[in-house]
Structure 1
Amino acid sequence: MALNSKMFIILALICAMANLSMAGDPDILTDFIEPPNFQGPIDGNFFTFTGMRSLVGAPFPTTFKVTKASMAEFPALNGQSVSYAVLQFPNGTVNPPHTHPRASELLFVLSGSLEVGFVDTTNKLFTQTLLQGDVFVFPKGLVHFQFNNDAKNPVVALSAFGSASAGTVSVPATVFNTTIDDQILALSFKTDVATIQKIKAGFSS
């Protein structure tokens, strides 16, 4: 029996919602993707990333630092739906509120203690104090942060992402370090233009 138009529309909407719920890196039809114009053989070297070696034995940074192994740095990740980042937090430093629009994040504390949290779509804040060996998940696309509030000890954490290119949208930088009109920001934050300009000045110094 032929489907009537209403039933067809309903089925189409259900299929569309199902596809959205599974959205992420697209599946690939080959074992791996060779980058265009790649020079050299595809061997073990292609599947090896040595960019983290610079962290071994190096002095600890004086400001918060992220060292990434994403598709941009490690082309073999294209199509594999995974990436890593090493996060180094000197005492008293923060990874400001941000989102990863294309991936959830699984954070593992290698050393130290870290305050973390995220805000869901109902504006509920979920926080936790993570100790060495703890793992915390930040759901995909939600605003989240990490903070080392220890006055003496640094923190090292490893983040795994469910995308080869998770993307990062920094809330403070996106709002105050772009060309959004000062009047719009002042109205949005229920303050005045002078205050907005003072905040913006902090990002340019």
Structure 2
Amino acid sequence: MNLTLGTLLPTNESPSLPAIQTATRQPVTLTVNGVKTELQLAPWTSLLDALREYMHLTGTKKGCDHGQCGACTVLVNNKRINACLTLAIMQEDTQITTIEGLSSLDQTSSSSKLHPLQRAFIDHDAFQCGYCTPGQICSAVGLLNEGHAKTADDVRELMSGNICRCGAYPGIVAAITSVMDSQPTTV
């Protein structure tokens, strides 16, 4: 049997990643945006990949995939986490909220009502390309739930784990402080 150095597979065989993943999948039940869903996942599947690839909730973005940019920030039990740094299987028995779950359905008109922070981001022009916006908003909700931010400087410091490559920081801080000043926010 000839082994190629780069693959450590016999040269006459091709890798079969789907077969490997299928053989090791196990049931994982996640409650996302109030909906309980059972998935068949490999144990090493990140929460980010479960949300995007298996549940098709693509609002949560994959930026660096190393926990450095904050684009994948979601809320787990109302606390902000980087979805790329946790395994989906570790989030069973938790309440996960993504950007898609922040708005609420108005039962009288069957339309969605934006979360106050979503509205504030629009009102304060707190985004340019919008790629980081879902993570920024989820992180901001978590920040306000934590109750540690009292000033704009606190907001800047506590949001420092969320990077905006477009530089929309003045609008982001203005949006968060406007909600912070008007009311306490919970999911």
* Band the TM-score falls in, shorter-chain normalisation: under 0.3
Which one has the largest radius of gyration?
1
* Structure 1 or 2: more strand by fraction: 1
- What TM-score do you get using the length of structure 2 for normalisation? 0.27
* Structure 1 or 2: more helix by fraction: 2
